[in-house]
Structure 1
C-alpha cells in the first residue's frame, strides 16, 4: 500500500471518528427518544405491578422488594447488556447476522457451567459464573480465529458456522450433563427465564452494568475496528487489543446472564438491526437507543410470558425465540432483495 493511499485511509477513518464524537449532541435528544424513554419506563412499571401476588396487601411491600424489584432490575441489565453484545460482535465481524447465540458463545458458557458441576458440585454461583465467562471467552476467540483463517464469500455463512460450532459444543455439554446426571439442571439454566430471579440471586447481574458503561466509553474504538483490521491499523488503533477487549466484554455479559437468567436468543441480533434500520450506523448516538430497545424488548416479552397463560409463565426465551426468528428471516429476505447474501 502506497504512502499516499495510507494517508487517505487515515483521513477517512479520522473523519468518521470525529463525526461519531460530534453526532450525539446533535441527534440523540429528539422527541422520538423521549417517547422511547417514556414507553420503556411504562413497561418497567408494568413489570413491577404484574404478578399473582398482591403487592398492595399487608405483606405486599416485602414481596415487592424480594421478587418484583430484582426481576425488573435483571430485565434492565440483561436487556441492555446483551443488546450491546450484539453491537460489539457485529462490528468486530462486520456482519449484521452475528450475536452470542449465533456464534456459539452461549453454548461455550453452558460448557463452563457443566464443567463446574462435574469438577466442583458445591461451587458457588460466582464460581459458576466465572467458569461460564472463561469458556465463553475461549469459544468466542475460537470463532474469531476461525473467521480470520477462512475466506467467506457470503455474509450468511458466518452465523451458520457459529451455529454449527455451537451445536458441536452443545452436544458435548449434553453428554457431560447425562454422564453427571445434570441434564435437568442444564435445561433449567438455558431455559432463559426471569422466574427464579429474586433478592440474593440477581446481584451478580450488576456486573454487566459495568460492561454496558465500558461500551459507551470505548465506542469510538469499536467504530474504527468495524472498518476492518487494515484500516483500523492505519489510523493507529491496536486492533488486536480492541478484539480481545470486545471478546472479554461479550464473554462477561454472556457468562453472567447465562448463569443468572439463561439464554436470551436473538436479542443481540434483533435490537442492533432494528436501531440501524431506524437511525443508520452512527454507533455512538445509537448506543442509548440500543439500550432502550433491548430493555423494552426483553420486558415486553417477559410480560407476555407472565400474562398469556397466567397464573403460569412461559419462559422469556420462547417468546424471544419467536420474535427473533421472525426478524432474522425478515433480515435475510431484505438482504436477499438487496443482493447482499453473496457478497
Structure 2
C-alpha cells in the first residue's frame, strides 16, 4: 500500500503539472492577478481541468481494458490495439457517420462499441480455429486483423472524403478536449470500476473454460461481460480523444512484473500507472516543441512500441 500511495502521489503531481502547461499563461501568479484573473481562471476551468481529467480517465480505463483482454485471452501481448478492437470501433464510427451523420455523440459511441465487440469476437473466433504453437502468433494475428479492418475503413473514408475524420479517430489527441466534450470518459471509468468488482471472476476465467466451469461460474457469461467492458471503454476513448496505442499492453505487463497476476491486486496499480503514463506522455508532447504540440498518440506510439519490442525480446530470451 505504501508504494501504491507513492504512485498515486506521483499521478497527483503530474496532474497538477499538467494544469499549468500550455500556450495560455496559467500560473499561480496569473490566477491571483486582478488583470488576468478572468482569462486565466476561464482557461483553467474550460480547458486545463477537463483535459487533465480526460487524461486520467482515458489512461486508467484503457490500461484496465488491456488487463482484461490479457486475462481472458491468456496472452500478455494482447490489448485493444493488437486485437482489432480499436480498428473495429473506428469502422463503426465511419459507418454511423456515413449513414446517420446527425446521430448524437452517445449514439455514435454505442455503434462504435457494437463494432468493437464484433471485431473482438471475430479475433477470438480466429484464435480458436488456428493452432497456436507460439504465444507471439496471437498479437500477430490481431495486428493482421486490425490491418485488414483499417484498410477497409481507409478505403471508404477516402471514397466518401472522410479521411480527416478518420485521422482524428486513429490519432490520440487531447488538444481539443474542453468542458462538455470529455464527459463520456466517465462511462469508461465506471466500467473500469465494474472490472475491479468482477476481478476475481476474470482471474478465474483466465485459467480456462474447464477450470471456470468446475468452480461453478458461467465461462461464456464472464468472457462476454469482459469483452463488453473492453469494447465500451475502447469506443468511448476513440470517440472522445482517438486511439492511444500500446497503453493496454505496456502498463499491465509492468504491473505483472511488479506484483504478479492477481487481478484484484493489479487493477489499482494498472489504473494508477496508466494515468501516470498518459499524463507523462502528454506533458512531453506539449513541452518538447512548445508552443506547438505533438499528439499524444504519436508520443505513446513511439515509447509504447519500444517497450513492446523490449517485452517481446525479453519473453523470447526467457523462452530459450
How far apart, in 2, do the equivalents of 1:323 and 1:274 lie?
14
Deviations 1:203-235 (A, max 9, x none): 111111111110110000000001111111111
Q: Which moved more, 1:47-56 or 1:85-94?
A: 47-56
Over the aligned positions, Cα root-mean-square deviation in angstroms equals 1.0
Q: Which residue of the partner structure matches residue 9 of structure 2?
A: 38
How far apart, in 2, do the equivalents of 1:217 and 1:127 lie?
27
Quick one: which of 76, 80, 85 aligns to 2:56? 76
Q: 2:188 aligned with 1:208, yes or no? A: yes
Q: Which residue of the partner structure matches residue 33 of structure 2?
A: none
How far apart, in 2, do the equivalents of 1:111 and 1:186 lie?
9
Could you tell me which runs of 5 or more consecutive residues in structure 2 were left unpaired when the two chains were aligned: 31-35
How far apart, in 2, do the equivalents of 1:161 and 1:147 lie?
8
Could you tell me which runs of 5 or more consecutive residues in structure 1 were left unpaired when the two chains were aligned: 1-28
How far apart, in 2, do the equivalents of 1:117 and 1:282 lie?
41
Q: 2:277 aligned with 1:297, yes or no? A: yes
Aligned positions of 1:47-196 closer than 5 A: 47-55=18-26, 56=30, 57-58=36-37, 59-196=39-176
How far apart, in 1, do the equivalents of 2:264 and 2:203 lie?
8
**Alpha-carbon shift at residue 281 of structure 1 (Å):** 1.5
Report how many aligned residue pairs link the two structures: 311
| TM-score of the aligned structures, taking structure 2 as reference length | 0.95
Q: Which residue of the partner structure matches residue 220 of structure 1?
A: 200
How far apart, in 2, do the equivalents of 1:160 and 1:169 lie?
14
Q: Which residue of the partner structure matches residue 256 of structure 1?
A: 236
Q: Which residue of the partner structure matches residue 199 of structure 1?
A: 179
Quick one: which of 279, 288, 310 aligns to 1:330? 310
How far apart, in 1, do the equivalents of 2:195 and 2:94 lie?
29
